Amino acid sequence: MNYSRNELVQSEATMNQMRNSVYILQRFMKNNGLTEIKQRLNRMGKNIAHTYVKYWKPIEVIDLSNISDVLATLYKNILNSTVSIEINSTNNTISVKDNDCALCKYHFEDIEVAGCEIIASMIAEFVNLINAHSGISFALEPINIKESRALGNKTCIHVYKYLEGGI
């Protein structure tokens, strides 16, 4: 069955094939001497955001007052995950804890880069694209994957830096 991009956005297609292919792709890159796997996954996430935002946006403007709700909505609607969010205003970071990360269901002994690098980059880019034409200078930058189920942790924790005044 062939789906248009708009139909895929509206469908409840499973993440199984995506999850499996991310780790197969990593092994392929590693076996063929390709480097910068993390950066490649980050680019993939950004590219996904550029496509997805054309078909759906949860809100027109994002700032610190609504970022928690927006992140929860993005994770729920795109990834079918319910997350907990902590904002640290001292160092301008946001930690998103995902107990059911769509790309990190299993622990892989031979994987060094968490598949949720794609998710963190996609979410940050999604926020930045929404705000690109809003006149609001609020942006997200993925800092690191603090924990990942794919790397043996019990949960995935995505850490973002928020920038007021833009990037």
At the topology level of CATH, where does 5-164 sit?
A: Muramoyl-pentapeptide Carboxypeptidase; domain 2 (3.30.1380)
pLDDT given for residue 73 in this prediction:
97
16-60 pLDDT, tens per residue? 567 778 888 999 999 999 999 999 999 999 999 999 999 999 999
113-140 pLDDT, tens per residue? 999 999 999 999 999 999 998 888 899 9
Q: Which helix (H) or strand (E) holds 24?
A: helix 16-31
Sequence-distant (6+) residues with CB within 8 A of 155 are 97, 98, 99, 101, 147, 149
pTM over 0.75: yes
Helices 67-79 and 116-131 pack at an angle, to 10 degrees, of 130
How many CB atoms neighbour CB 10 within 10 A?
A: 12
pLDDT given for residue 122 in this prediction:
97
pLDDT given for residue 17 in this prediction:
66
Domains of the chain by residue range: 5-164
